[in-house]
Structure 1
Amino acid sequence: MAVDPIPADLLYRACDLKQFTFETTADLEDLPGLVGQERAVEALRFGTSIHRHGYNIFVLGPEGAGKHEAVLGFLANLAVRQKAPSDWAYVNNFRSPNKPIVLEMAAGSARGLKEGMARLIDDFKISVPAILESEEYQNRRQSIEEEYRERQEKAFEELRMNAEAESIALLRTPSGFALAPIHHGDGHEGEVLKPDEFNRLPEAERKRIETTIQALQKELAEILEHIPAWEKEHRDRVTKLNREIAERLIEQSMRDLRQRFDTMPAVRDWLAAVAADLVDNIGIFAGQGDQQQQQVTIALQAMAQGQPLPFGALNPFRRYEVNVIVENNNVPRSVGTSPWKAHMEPDTGGYIGGGAPIVYEDHPTLQNLVGRVEHLPQMGALITDFMLIKGGSLHRANGGYLVLDALKILREPLAWDALKRTLRRRKIVIESPGEFLSLVSTVSLEPEPIPLDLKVVLLGERYLYYMLSNLDPEFSQLFKVAADFEDEIDREAENDLLYARLLAGMCRKEELLPLDRSGVSRVIERASRLAEDAEKITTAMRPIEDLLREADFVARSESKACISAGHVDAAIEAQIARADRMRERSLEMITRDIVMIDTEGAVAGQVNGLSVLSMGAVSFGRPSRITARVRMGMGAARVLDIEREVDLGGPIHSKGVLILSGYLSATFLPEIPFSMSASLVFEQSYGGVDGDSASSAELYALISALAEMPITQALAVTGSVNQLGEVQAIGGVNDKIEGFFDICMRRGLTGDQGVLIPAANVKHLMLRQDVVDAVERGMFAIYPIERIEDGVELLMGCPAGERGPDGKFPQGSVYARAEARLAAFAENQRRFAQRADENGKK
């Protein structure tokens, strides 16, 4: 049965301008949602509404489908209605400085605590020295000092008077106190006896003096024993005075700060610890006081001994600072018509404004996710403290949403495991790569973990989702919601208008000229071509956005007020021209007969197959010569795939070749075992070959070689085939047709040239206008093929033949000639085996 070529009006589906009532997209409102993504939107709505552990979201879809913008826009509309989460800050732990305390505060209040503490310390630096220099304090301090001195002086005065009564002097020396005899009643009153003078005294006098000195030394020892206790009592009285002054000052200074944070238990407890520490260390505010000097001395000694040194050791006031790592804000702010613009700036820490935070982490390393503890060099050592704790994106997104690219986080060492561990624990633990890999045994700081409550949204292509589902058991437990974005939507009047509104929003967001009706129609037609389906529109918005930008450039260069179809066509042609070098070189090699492709004549066992070459973002069709050779085989029928034998054929291509054997075995000599040896090859193919879209062309070449009937070279073939002989749909049909058309066009159209495609691919046709024009003039033809037999008749100019009631194909048909040759192979093989058997017996 003859196959009629496809009419020209089915080769390209134009968009009906009459369905649009607007003049330009400036007349249209922005699309509030997503076109044709109801399933994905419902999944996002469910995933963000359910507050259960593990219900994080994986958004899967093709690259360039606008997942980022769509998800961030959806979250922005949702987050702005939610309550802003808590602020978080790290502060000093006065009991264990290496374990900083984390404080949770109401949204927007952390800065007040930080600034309040800074003002408090600044006030103390002024008020404490002023109080210590005040008359009241100096009088009370002087009174304590005088009492201490009087107590000592009284004790030593009594000892001195007792000694003088016995002619003994109490002397102060650099090494302490000493007792010595003195002259008495000899004109040298009060002078200390020299040793030779003491020796000339009568023995009785000497013994008396020695006994007296021993008794006085006991009294001196008792006095000296009491001095430390007196000093301690003195220090205690001074400390009590300082504490009294400090408590009164601190109570007055911290009253407002305590009242402000009285409803926050963690902050209230920490402020109480601050007050106690200030009382104990009030002396550090007295300028260069002994207490501050003592702390610096201890710090320097620790460094000299190689001990860890907190960063604040040389700055004692640093211990009272507040390290705010997350600060939210309850004041809404306007971000224009595109509320997700702020999300795309990783340096801003995400969108925060009147609701839950949304953070997009563009570089999801371990430390960028969970935070880090930084170190600074000081006096030859690396030192740190709680003020050097830096929060990560998990901290900033806590209470809201964290958006990550799945591929980016999987590429970062340790980051994926850290994210899963954090979600499992439901708390953020800051850990360094060294600790994670057990490369560092000393932990300088152990910050208190922060409770975690957020939704993580991963964005990635489908293969990543399925790979993680199969290879990572924890993935399905932590990401239970899949939001699957559609690759394409139905091309119908309702969706065309929605798409126009989507284009209107793009133009406003990018500040482009509006499109008129013809421009919108042309973009929709281009979207169908990108979808490779005349009944569908692609949802991959990145190439559409690029097209709009370039069409805007063309329109502005012509000083136009809007973008029309001509500008869109010019932008498309410019895109193709910029990336057309390889296609031009391929065409040139064929037209110069370097790569051998015939477009006229007829050859047995040779057919023009069609394939698509993809190089980056550019794809184009390229014809290939496929040849087949057959001969008698030994044993069962075997089709040798030369591409597979040399490891240039992929598994799908090899599968397609094996299917050919199934078709041949079922079609010819059903009751007689036959043997055949055949070889198939893509001539002048030096790269890998995969896919089964050439299997129908390979089958035509085999049948032609078997029947010894030539195939017209004016036709090219694409389509896969099953064992039943049905021709199946393939991809890239538009590129393949245009690739063969370009060769024919350069050599000159004869009117006999054309392409055989699967009938199932007719609905995918969105061909170039020059191809459509050539078909309309009858200079080129495209044939829809449902079965191999239809293609055989077109290619070989003779019916394939259908087996009749007598079990035979019609005389002279292609299949009759092929079966006759196979029968001859079988007979020859039987005779050959018989002779071999007779020779063996002899």
Structure 2
Amino acid sequence: MIQPITELTAAQLRRRMQLTSLPFATTADAPELNEIIGQERATRAIEFGIEIPYQGYNIFAMGPVGAGKTTIITGFLQRKAQTRPVPHDWGYVHNFNDPDRPHALRLPPRGGAGVRAEVDQLLNQVAETLSKAFTSEQYAEHRGALVHQLDQQRADRLRQLDQFAREQGFVLVRLPMGLMVSPLKDGQAMSQEQFEALSEEEKQVFHTREPIIQDALERTMRQVREINDEAEVRLTNLDREIAAVTTKPLFDRVEAAYADWPDITEFLSSVHTHISEHTDDLRRPAEAEEESEGAQGGAEGESAQPSLWFRPAAGSPYDRYRLNVIVDNSALTNAPVVLETNPTYLNLIGRVEMRAEYGTLVTDFRHIKAGALHRANGGYLVLDARSLLRQPLAWEALKQALRNQCIRIEEMGQQMGVLATASLAPEPIPLDVKVVLIGDPSTYYLLYEYDEQFEKLFKVRADFAVEMAWTAENEQKIAQFIRSRCEEEHLPHFDISGVAKVMEYSGRLVEDQRKLTTRFAHVTDIVREAAFWAQRAGHTLVTAADVDKAIDERVYRSNQFEERLREMIADGKIMIATQGAIVGQINGLAVLQLGDYSFGRPSRITARTYEGRSGIVSIEREARLSGRIHDKGTLIITGLLGGRYAQDKPLSLNASITFEQAYDSIDGDSASAAELIALLSSLADAPIKQSLAVTGSINQHGEIQAIGGVSDKIEGFFEACKAMPPGLSGEQGVVIPASNVSNLMLKEDVVAAVAAGQFHIYPVRTLDEAIELLTDVPAGERGAEGAYPPDTINGRVDRRLRQLAEQLQRFGRPPAKEGHSKSAREPEKQPPHEPELPTDEPEPPRPQTTARRRHQPRPPWAMTP
């Protein structure tokens, strides 16, 4: 026995927030919000990923757009970061052994800038100290004495050589090109003419002694060179000793201040050693500068102060001793939280910049710049997954850094193997960071499927929900959320009625009376817009009227196409009947999605049945205007008909079903119940009330199943009924699945019309309930003998199907013989090919004859029944 259908009351069509459920009168009195709303599962996952200390437990935050993932995660991480200390600063310094590989320097937390200032001050002091030391009278006397001593040694060697040469009859002659020996006569060196005038015996004597003198000359010159070398070494050692001794106290002071930082003390020690060993490199630019200034001459040159040697000016050799601090955490009080909105390769791992000098690009360690990984080191890095994957090499660079636990700065050209130019290769920096990727579910599953390293590096999935339970506790949390938005954006606060409207709007977004949305980006938008209209109206508090105004204005900005369709329905251009009863015709309901706006549209569905064996033909399917889900609904109808009516006869019929005046693509199975009712109406010759519209999908057992967009569909038919004359008659309504009652969050005007008896909403659970309501004819149940009562819908359909099967079986057979009245000369003519009739099972639906475009994109105005 079919239970009578109970019409829904106005109270069942929309859940309202009780104004007494909140313990405060306005959001200004609400407590401050300090927790994540409705994301307990995601919160626990994020907390687990942050706390677990092992490698690879980075986080992928997964959820729909607008769920507030970035805001929620950033706020959560900032609170967690307050419990962690400030990490080390980092810098790069010159590598004296290999200048192309700068050293990475670990610096005190928040102390990198201080160390850099100390080093700069130290270099200034070193320059001043060396300038004084090498321009002092004591240094000049010491150096002069050493030079005089070495000069005396050279003079002694040359004097001894000259004496030996004279003893052998030769004399040393100093020429511009060096020393040479010449024969001696009368105490003077002979000229060439004098030597030629000598006798052969005298010449022979000189020739005999010449090798001895030449050997002595070479030996002496070697000794002089050795003395010169010794002199250079002794002078250099003197400069080194003076530089080392005079600057040692300066370096000792700074090293003592950073005794607990081995990297800094080692760097300072290497700088001290290098300065002591390369004083000439430091002095030469200053000397050239002094010579340039001195060349200007005149009174100005005499009055000007002499420039100091070793002055560390820009571009001076002192630059190699400076410190490049790439990570300066001086502004932090806890661990860093970095949100990188443009995660390119260079922005992620850092870069080495170039500068142009004389038409050539040059660089050094001072031009190394940090990336997001450097700034987030010791804390948390938040990245958008899709933005990251769109950047060349960025995803691979992130994986490499996480896998190796270090940041290695390399040029993109070197990574791609297309750049052969020599560049810097900075020493890698150890990495300790938790990375949070934010993305949608499809991105997560694609990475998990196609990147084998993804699951090893991002072991924690934080799954953000799109809805939460509508409870008193969550009502208070949303009120606190509104309060936070008002405080942060300097908006007027909401009174309780305004909060209630926002709460109900949140429930409508998820289409559920038991749920509230967690997509707080949409809630924030309506809060801002309601505050705007409240300020425009001069209200000190945002009220329910202001929220309604914001919602209405938002709809008005987007519903131009909806209004145009409504006008076409009212003008009769789109044919929709809201009165009377017609066989094989029913009002179906569909949802049109236009960007961020959706609305319901009624559509006329018609069915025609006739004799044949093709079964049910969907005209949309044949015209390739339907999607796969809609086609599935059509096949389910065939299965239901076979199971219900073809147990004792073949299912032999032709039936066509279509959405009239639908010229765009259609998908979804929520019109399958309406299509089946139209088909049964045609078979049973039972008129369907046109004042009612139907939505719901059907299964093979005749049960009405839940569908989506139920509120939009009801409102779409409601507006059509209002637009068509004579308007609401008190008979119109919508038949919906009973399982969708909890999804109703209808507009106030629909609720008011139902309360006034002008519009009706009927929940049904089965096909039989729906068809009784629509035809006022009992559906009928099988009796003990398996037959349906004849005056019911099922009885009529069963009888009609039997008639169609019998008619098809009789079609084409010869007339019956009448004894032997025919002449033997007129033999009976048989048809050449008697058609084969179905016997037990109905023929399956005709397969599609043309290849379907499976991936044909749907237009934005495609209907979803």
Once the two structures are superposed, residues 652-696 of structure 1 have per-residue CA deviations (whole angstroms, 9 ceiling, x without a partner) of 222222111111111113222222333333333333322221221
Q: Which residue of 2 aligns with 1:40?
A: 42
Q: Which moved more, 1:317-326 or 1:532-541?
A: 317-326
Asked if the contact 2:157–2:224 (Cα under 8 Å) also holds between the matched residues in 1, the reply is: no
Q: 1:601 to 1:414 in 2, by over 3 A?
A: farther
Q: Which residue of 2 aligns with 1:746?
A: 723
Q: Does 1:783 align with 2:783?
A: no
Q: Which moved more, 1:399-408 or 1:197-206?
A: 197-206
Q: Distance in 1 between matches of 2:183 and 2:400?
A: 84
2:221 alignment partner, one of 214, 220, 224: 224
Q: Which residue of 2 aligns with 1:437?
A: 416
Q: Does 1:501 align with 2:480?
A: yes
Q: Does 1:277 align with 2:274?
A: yes
Asked if the contact 2:378–2:431 (Cα under 8 Å) also holds between the matched residues in 1, the reply is: yes
Asked if the contact 2:695–2:737 (Cα under 8 Å) also holds between the matched residues in 1, the reply is: yes
Read off the aligned partner of 2:278 and give its amino acid letter.
N
Asked if the contact 1:757–1:784 (Cα under 8 Å) also holds between the matched residues in 2, the reply is: yes
2:245 alignment partner, one of 232, 245, 248: 248
1:661 alignment partner, one of 616, 638, 642: 638
Q: Which residue of 1 aligns with 2:455?
A: 476
Read off the aligned partner of 1:663 and give its amino acid letter.
L
Once the two structures are superposed, residues 436-479 of structure 1 have per-residue CA deviations (whole angstroms, 9 ceiling, x without a partner) of 22223455222222222221112222333333333333222222
2:832 alignment partner, one of 831, 834, 839: 839
Asked if the contact 1:103–1:267 (Cα under 8 Å) also holds between the matched residues in 2, the reply is: yes
**DSSP-derived class of the 1:325 partner:** strand
Q: 1:313 to 1:202 in 2, by over 3 A?
A: farther
Q: Does 1:140 align with 2:142?
A: yes
Shift of 1:292: 12
Q: 1:428 to 1:808 in 2, by over 3 A?
A: same
2:116 alignment partner, one of 114, 117, 129: 114
2:92 alignment partner, one of 82, 87, 90: 90
1:227-376 aligned within 5 A: 227-288=224-285, 315-329=316-330, 353-376=332-355
Asked if the contact 1:125–1:286 (Cα under 8 Å) also holds between the matched residues in 2, the reply is: no
Q: Does 1:50 align with 2:46?
A: no
Shift of 1:242: 1.2
Asked if the contact 1:749–1:780 (Cα under 8 Å) also holds between the matched residues in 2, the reply is: yes
Q: Does 1:713 align with 2:714?
A: no
Q: 1:195 to 1:34 in 2, by over 3 A?
A: closer
Once the two structures are superposed, residues 230-250 of structure 1 have per-residue CA deviations (whole angstroms, 9 ceiling, x without a partner) of 221111101110111121123
Q: Distance in 1 between matches of 2:316 and 2:24?
A: 70
Q: Which residue of 1 aligns with 2:62?
A: 60
**DSSP-derived class of the 2:630 partner:** helix
Asked if the contact 2:409–2:426 (Cα under 8 Å) also holds between the matched residues in 1, the reply is: yes
Read off the aligned partner of 1:137 and give its amino acid letter.
Y
Read off the aligned partner of 2:199 and give its amino acid letter.
P
Q: Distance in 2 between matches of 1:133 and 1:837?
A: 136
Q: Which moved more, 1:592-601 or 1:529-538?
A: 592-601
Shift of 1:719: 1.2
Q: Which residue of 2 aligns with 1:407?
A: 386
Unpaired runs of 5+ residues, structure 1, are 294-311, 330-351
Q: Which moved more, 1:212-221 or 1:143-152?
A: 212-221
Q: Which residue of 2 aligns with 1:610?
A: 589
Q: Distance in 1 between matches of 2:484 and 2:89?
A: 35
Q: Which residue of 2 aligns with 1:100?
A: 102
**DSSP-derived class of the 1:572 partner:** helix
Q: Distance in 1 between matches of 2:670 and 2:225?
A: 102
Q: 1:594 to 1:421 in 2, by over 3 A?
A: farther
Q: Distance in 2 between matches of 1:292 and 1:782?
A: 96
Q: Does 1:815 align with 2:794?
A: yes
Shift of 1:773: 1.7
Q: Distance in 2 between matches of 1:833 and 1:158?
A: 147
**DSSP-derived class of the 2:224 partner:** helix
Shift of 1:182: 5.4
Q: Distance in 2 between matches of 1:510 and 1:78?
A: 24
Read off the aligned partner of 2:265 and give its amino acid letter.
R
Q: Does 1:199 align with 2:196?
A: yes
Asked if the contact 1:607–1:711 (Cα under 8 Å) also holds between the matched residues in 2, the reply is: yes
Q: Distance in 2 between matches of 1:659 and 1:247?
A: 95
Query: How many pairs does the alignment contain?
Result: 795
Q: Distance in 1 between matches of 2:429 and 2:813?
A: 87
Once the two structures are superposed, residues 166-189 of structure 1 have per-residue CA deviations (whole angstroms, 9 ceiling, x without a partner) of 6644222232223334552xxxx7
Read off the aligned partner of 1:810 and give its amino acid letter.
P
Q: Distance in 1 between matches of 2:185 and 2:54?
A: 99
Shift of 1:265: 2.3
Once the two structures are superposed, residues 148-181 of structure 1 have per-residue CA deviations (whole angstroms, 9 ceiling, x without a partner) of 2222222223333444566644222232223334
Shift of 1:29: 0.8
Q: Which residue of 1 aligns with 2:375?
A: 396
Q: What is the Cα-based RMSD across aligned positions, in Å? A: 2.6
Q: Which residue of 2 aligns with 1:556?
A: 535
Q: 1:647 to 1:446 in 2, by over 3 A?
A: farther
Q: Which moved more, 1:61-70 or 1:823-832?
A: 823-832
Asked if the contact 2:567–2:723 (Cα under 8 Å) also holds between the matched residues in 1, the reply is: no
Q: Which moved more, 1:533-542 or 1:151-160?
A: 151-160
Q: Which residue of 1 aligns with 2:748?
A: 769
Q: 1:412 to 1:166 in 2, by over 3 A?
A: closer
Unpaired runs of 5+ residues, structure 2, are 291-312, 815-828, 836-865
Q: Distance in 2 between matches of 1:320 and 1:833?
A: 108
Once the two structures are superposed, residues 176-226 of structure 1 have per-residue CA deviations (whole angstroms, 9 ceiling, x without a partner) of 223334552xxxx74x54433332222223333444444333222222222
Shift of 1:380: 2.5
Read off the aligned partner of 1:436 and give its amino acid letter.
Q
1:727-742 aligned within 5 A: 727-742=704-719
Q: Distance in 1 between matches of 2:575 and 2:149?
A: 117
Read off the aligned partner of 1:146 and give its amino acid letter.
H
Q: 1:353 to 1:235 in 2, by over 3 A?
A: same
Q: Which residue of 2 aligns with 1:448?
A: 427
Q: Which residue of 1 aligns with 2:598?
A: 619
Q: Does 1:703 align with 2:704?
A: no
Once the two structures are superposed, residues 550-572 of structure 1 have per-residue CA deviations (whole angstroms, 9 ceiling, x without a partner) of 11111112222111111111111
**DSSP-derived class of the 1:537 partner:** strand
Q: Distance in 2 between matches of 1:138 and 1:322?
A: 34
Shift of 1:651: 2.0
Read off the aligned partner of 1:178 and give its amino acid letter.
M
Q: Which residue of 1 aligns with 2:306?
A: none
Q: 1:228 to 1:717 in 2, by over 3 A?
A: farther
Q: Distance in 2 between matches of 1:270 and 1:292?
A: 29
Q: Does 1:14 align with 2:7?
A: no
**DSSP-derived class of the 1:839 partner:** coil
Shift of 1:519: 0.8
Asked if the contact 1:608–1:715 (Cα under 8 Å) also holds between the matched residues in 2, the reply is: yes
Asked if the contact 1:180–1:213 (Cα under 8 Å) also holds between the matched residues in 2, the reply is: no
Q: Distance in 2 between matches of 1:70 and 1:246?
A: 59
Q: Distance in 2 between matches of 1:227 and 1:825?
A: 131
**DSSP-derived class of the 1:136 partner:** helix
Shift of 1:732: 1.1
Q: Which moved more, 1:213-222 or 1:13-22?
A: 213-222
Read off the aligned partner of 1:839 and give its amino acid letter.
P
Shift of 1:527: 0.9
Asked if the contact 2:130–2:247 (Cα under 8 Å) also holds between the matched residues in 1, the reply is: no
Q: Does 1:599 align with 2:578?
A: yes
**DSSP-derived class of the 2:799 partner:** helix
